[in-house]
Amino acid sequence: MVRDENIKDSVILQDTINGRTQPWKEKKVRSLKVADSFRRLGEAKRADRVRCCGSTLGFLRNLETGEKRLATADFCRERLCPMCQWRKSLKVFRQVSRVLDRAQEDYKDLVPLFLTLTLKNCSGDVLSATLDTVFKGWHLLWQRKPIKRIGVGWFRALEVTYNRKADTYHPHLHAIILVDKGYFKSKDYMATAEWVQEWRSALGVDYDPICDIRKVKNDKAKYKSVAEVAKYTVKDTDLVHDDTALMDKVVHGLGTALKGRRLFAFGGLLKRIAKQLGIEELAEGDLVHIDGETIREDIARVLEVYRWNFGLMNYTRG
């Protein structure tokens, strides 16, 4: 639900869904800072795209109930844009939730596990090579016999955090995997220490990387796990800094290392279900209608348009 407040003869946008205020202003402000960074880095076209991202938002208001939903927007789709990262995260959450719901409806003998796989932090100059190792390691992990025996399907997502104090990056994978419900009492059950050794071998490193594997106990925990894997690849708080030199270094480093990579992916049974549901590419396509719900065509409605006001540094109408 969106409610309006009149400030200085302008209507300020406040978008609230299920009691939660949507961070339109916060994401737009940070997107502008990323645009400034791109410009300093000589990326004028990217800077212009990010600067214009989400500048105009159109909401359809149901005249009977007052309910509003986003109907139009001009998102830039740049990988490091905080606005687009937020919208993509919401979309991935819905997509993965739909696939898991269908899997649990059709395959009642399967249960999800939540898996986190890490490796040591790395410097910016080897971040791209480290990501190569991470994705190759994930592929090799699923070729290993103990994993192939238990894993029926999976979803994985990359997250990269930045440690300002150490000036290092921490790439890691979040995943949800499906196993038979009898897995925990079977001879194929793997303790965390065994997952560590399998991941170590797949990575080809000479140390024990930290891994975490746990059962998703109920629907509430399932959606919490989905939210974890669907969150931003890069937190905008890691990306945006007051120190412009530092920010430019991080933006350049992450932009280079993440370019062209598949940040989210399904595999096995979950990939087949996603295809059946028409989900071919995660986080791609429409970033406007991401909740799967629309206002009925036979109900009177009006389009309300909000534009970014640089003077007020907020979205206004009127």
Q: What is the pLDDT of residues 83-134, one digit of tens each?
A: 999 999 999 999 999 999 999 899 999 999 999 999 999 999 999 999 999 9
* Structure confidence at residue 293 (pLDDT): 54
Contact 279, 93 (CB under 8 A): no
- Counting Cα atoms < 13 Å in the Cβ hemisphere of 205 gives 19
* Structure confidence at residue 68 (pLDDT): 79
Query: What is the pTM (predicted TM-score) of this model?
Result: 0.89
Look up residue 211 and give its two tokens: 């891994």
Q: Which of the residues in the chain have pLDDT under 50?
A: 1-7
* Structure confidence at residue 17 (pLDDT): 75
- Counting Cα atoms < 13 Å in the Cβ hemisphere of 69 gives 14
* Structure confidence at residue 63 (pLDDT): 79
* Structure confidence at residue 300 (pLDDT): 59
Which backbone phi and psi does 317 adopt, to 5 degrees? -130, 135
3-state secondary structure of 302: strand
Orientation of helix 24-40 relative to helix 82-106, angle to 10°: 120
Strand order in the sheet with 110-118: 211-215, 110-118, 168-180, 153-163, 264-267
Which backbone phi and psi does 155 adopt, to 5 degrees? -130, 135
* Structure confidence at residue 298 (pLDDT): 54
* Structure confidence at residue 34 (pLDDT): 98
**Dist CA 229 CA 158 (whole Å):** 8
* Alpha-helical regions (H) of the chain: 24-40, 44-52, 82-106, 127-141, 145-150, 192-203, 219-230, 236-239, 244-258, 268-276
**Dist CA 11 CA 62 (whole Å):** 18
Indicate the pairing of strand 301-309 with strand 264-267: unpaired
* Structure confidence at residue 8 (pLDDT): 55
* Structure confidence at residue 154 (pLDDT): 96
**Dist CA 307 CA 227 (whole Å):** 29
* Structure confidence at residue 253 (pLDDT): 96
